[in-house]
Structure 1
Amino acid sequence: MYKNIEINITKIPRELMLILEIIKSEENDMSFSDYLHEINWDSFLQLALHHRLYPVLYTKLLKNEKKLVPEWILQSLKQHFRKNTFKMLYLCGEMEQLSKVFTEHKIRSLFLKGPILAADLYGDISQRTCGDLDILIPIEDLDKANQLLEKIGYKKDEYIKSLLNDWKWRHHHFTYYHPIKNTKIEIHWRLNPAPGKEPGFNELWDRKRKTTITGFPSYYLGNEDLFFFLVTHGARHGWSRLRWLLDIHQMVKTELKWETLIELFKKHQSLHIGGQALILSANLMGSHLDKKMKSLINGKLPIKLASESIFYVERMVNLHTDPVPREISEFHAKHLFSLMSFQQKVVYLLSFLHPYYADAETLPLPNRLHFLYYPLRPVLWVFRKTRKHALP
């Protein structure tokens, strides 16, 4: 590892460090034995589940002849491992069905994660967890996709409240649930929400790959596009689940075209985010960084962002479950802002001038008068703030 990219990881829970050392270890390697003392095994299990590292952890423990963990921990990991394997097998079938439905109705679709990612990065769908299926389609096909999904039993979660079509850039996916199959899918029209810059759908489609885990053709991102997506997705979530960082570690070990990748990150103003991911992966996963990656990790910003994100690793942060503690939400908002380029920060700040749905809730107006929300926006914002402070 480059000496100048070492970050302070001394406050990471001992139990999590043990998990990482086991995952990094070779068969019957006991170099991490010092970590085995004074372990809270309840926390060990909780952290393995929280970070979604338990499939790889369980596999590593099985291959090691030494009895590293209490039997009840091993049995619990086994149960979660088996449950996840069955779920991944089920999602493979669902993925094939959705791919077939979309193809038959001339909707191009790219699967972003799920079983495809597990097979591609780990060579085995049981080695990675997945809660849903993420599918990227062209924005102009959203209405058609909605009709098709409803026809096969999916129900749209209408949690997005939009005003003047701001959903197109404030958000990046719609969520659907199948009440009978108990399956959740996310239909994306962007990889990430604005103001992040990213390749367009046609560009991604031209570089797509076809998976071999389904009978019917299903497609996913090209190597470099996948790395770009995993990096920007993980950064946006503060790397609060180390499964995402393990994905980066797995990809670093493959034959990536680093010149192409660097140009991709540069074009989309994300060099520093790529550097953050590599620095974290080197420090926590033991990834080997070489000279081809130098352009990504150069400068102070990537290491500053990597150091900041250790905040999430030191705690067990769940950004998807409300209410998020105030300390966490305030830190996360600042961290997201620090990830943006100067241009993205300007666009983000200007976006506050665009009306929010809250303005329509504060002062309902007929559709033909919605344009008035632009000049009224500052007044309505001040009114809400004043009213909030005035309430007992």
Structure 2
Amino acid sequence: MNSTSTLNLANIPKELLLILEILKYNNDDYIHNHKSELFRGIDWDLFIKLSKHHRIYPILYKNIKKFKSDLIPSYVLKYFSSEYKKNTFNMLHLCAEIEYINKCFNEAEIKILFLKGPIIAHSLYGDISLRTSSDIDFLIPLVKLESAEALLANQGYIKDDYIKTVLNDWKWRHHHVTYFHPEKKIKLEIHWRLNPGPGNEPSFEELWRRKANSNLFDAPTFFLGSEDLFLFLVSHGARHGWSRLRWLYDIHLMLELEINWQTTSTLLKKYQFHNLGAQALVLTSELLGSKVTNDMSLVSNHFRSKTLANDAIFYLERRVNLHTDPVPDDVSRYHSQHLFSLMTFRRKAIFLLSILHPYPEDVDILPLPRKLHFLYFPLRPFIWLWKRTRKQALS
């Protein structure tokens, strides 16, 4: 990697720049003697809001509680201490449910791969209390989805049935369905794909063959192998514009693990994610001081890596939240354009072809009997043109 900064951080809030510096260095003397000027004029309320937004307050608290008392106001430390304890209890609560879900699925002979949450916290951070998680994500074979949903319903989980579909497009346009337990207050996301389509990705059986076993639990509990986990975390973070630093910090810690970078590069290229891997390495090296070794150059060397990394700074400048509606129009437009720019030529072609496939909204506009839904294919261009004309007329 080029040691010269390629990212434009001029419009990043100084509170976020301080957070990045604290994440990079946990040496109190270094911070106090060389970076103490960064603490001057800080809006500490904004500092707290940013740490919460980016979901990195546990690891931040681990670092700042070692600092000299004149650097951080006492009320900030007290707040972080309280939130850290709450997060620890939450992660233990999720751990208990992971054990139970894993047991239920094993008894039902449904293979299950956990994707994020406490297992990833333990694997990457070495301590479940240092990472936040709001739900439990796991991947199962698509053919087992109906059995899994019945199992969860029997356990008291209620499905958030928000997916509308036509001609079974849910199987590739979507990638997970959500369940919530009203008594346990736990949300589950059952995945049948790593990412929403269209586009190819590793099959479940392929991921299962390369799986890793978590030593967080006594019973065998499986998650993605290192190379597949890197692909998943990179594609997930990029899809959300790296709008939360927690996702980048995951990548930062992954670089310290033993990863076969030749295999990783092959996987990223095969599934058209090579540019995303390169983008992630530029961001982590320049924002978090990650060490990018020669072995990683198989992934980091991409002609668009610096451009794509700079494009992601937009999300850090504005504290973008893509998970809560309504998303501001300017952010929504930028995000749509950014997602398209992240695609390789092949993925762009597949995406544009997918637009020709009917959408559930087409059924609302022109209801047809189910046996005639195939007619939405030839009607799709006319429906799209009508929607566009109507939108322009309303605006």
In structure 1, the partner of 2:179 is 176
Contact 2:116 2:136 in 1 (8 A): yes
Tell me the equivalent position of 2:7: 7
Does residue 326 in structure 1 map to residue 321 in structure 2?
no
User: Would the aligned equivalents of 1:96 and 1:215 in 2 still touch at CA under 8 Å?
Assistant: no
Equivalent in the alignment of 2:265:
262
Pick the aligned partner of 1:198 from 188, 197, 201.
Answer: 201
Asked if the contact 2:278/2:302 (under 8 Å) is kept, the reply is: no
Report the equivalent of 1:241. Answer: 244
Aligned to 1:347: 350
Asked if 1:304 corresponds to 2:307, the answer is yes
Q: Is the 8 A contact 2:226 2:259 kept in 1?
A: yes
Partner of 1:42: 45
Q: Is the 8 A contact 1:196 1:340 kept in 2?
A: no
SS state at 1:156 partner: strand
Residue identity (%): 53
Alpha-carbon contact 1:110-1:221 (below 8 Å) kept: yes
State the number of aligned residues. 392
Measured after TM superposition, the shift of residue 195 of structure 1 is 2.6
Cα distance in 1 between the residues matched to 2:389 and 2:264: 48
* Distance in 1, Cα, partners of 2:381 & 2:262: 46
Structure 2 residue identity aligned to 1:388: K
**TM-score, with structure 2 as normaliser:** 0.96
Partner of 1:227: 230
| Structure 2 CA distance for aligned equivalents of residues 278 and 289 of structure 1 | 7
Per-residue Cα deviation, 1:180-213 (whole angstroms, up to 9, x for no partner)? 1111010000100113432111111011111122
1:161 and 2:164 correspond: yes
Q: Secondary structure at the match of 2:188?
A: strand
User: What CA distance in whole angstroms lies between the structure 2 residues aligned with 1:322 and 1:374?
Assistant: 30
- For residues 222-280 of structure 1, give each alpha carbon's deviation from its aligned partner in whole angstroms, at most 9, with x where no partner exists: 11111111111100100000000000000111221111111111111221111000000
Partner of 1:55: 58
Structure 1: runs of 5+ lacking an equivalent: none
**Residue in structure 1 matched with residue 18 of structure 2 by the alignment:** 18
Q: Which moved more, 1:56-65 or 1:152-161?
A: 56-65
* Counterpart among 105, 119, 123 of residue 120 in structure 1: 123
Instruction: Give 1:26 deviation, angstroms.
Output: 2.8
Q: Deviations over 1:57-82 (max 9, x none)?
A: 11111223444211111111111111
Q: 1:367 aligns with which of 361, 365, 370?
A: 370
CA 299–390 in structure 1, closer or farther in 2 if over 3 Å, else same? closer
Aligned equivalent of 2:287: 284
Alignment partner for residue 380 of structure 2, among 361, 377, 382?
377
Gaps of 5+ in 2: none
Structure 1 residue 4, shift from structure 2 partner? 5.8
Equivalent of 1:131 in 117, 124, 134? 134
Read off the aligned partner of 1:346 and give its amino acid letter.
A
Amino acid at match of 1:9: L
- Shift of the alpha carbon at 1:2? 1.7
Which deviates more from structure 2 when the two are superposed, residues 346-355 or residues 289-298? 289-298
Which residue in 2 is equivalent to 1:85? 88
8 Å CA contact 2:282–2:306 kept in 1: the answer is yes
Give me the whole-angstrom Cα distance separating, in 2, the residues matched to 1:67 and 1:53.
22
Find the aligned partners of 1:13 and 1:387 in 2 and give their Cα distance.
40
Tell me the CA shift for residue 32 of structure 1.
2.1
SS at match of 1:244: helix
Provide, for residues 284-312 of structure 1, a one-character-per-residue CA deviation record: whole Å limited to 9, x for no partner: 00001122122322243111100100111
Kindly indicate whether the alpha-carbon contact (under 8 Å) linking 1:5 and 1:303 is maintained by their aligned counterparts in 2: no
Q: CA deviation at 1:384?
A: 2.5
CA distance in 2, matches of 1:202, 1:299: 30
Distance 1:37 1:95, change over 3 A: same
Structure 1 pair 4/25, CA: closer, same or farther in 2 (3 Å)? Answer: closer
Other structure's SS at 1:353 match: coil
Partner Cα distance (1:372, 1:229) in 2? 36
Select between 143-152 and 1-10 the one with higher mean Cα deviation: 1-10
Residues 324-361 of structure 1: CA deviation (Å, up to 9, x unaligned): 00111111101111111111101100111110011100
Q: Separation in 1 of the partners of 2:194 and 2:352?
A: 21
**TM-score, structure 1 as length reference:** 0.97
What secondary structure sits across from 1:300 in the alignment?
Answer: coil
Per mean C-alpha deviation after superposition, the further-off stretch among 265-274 and 310-319 is 265-274
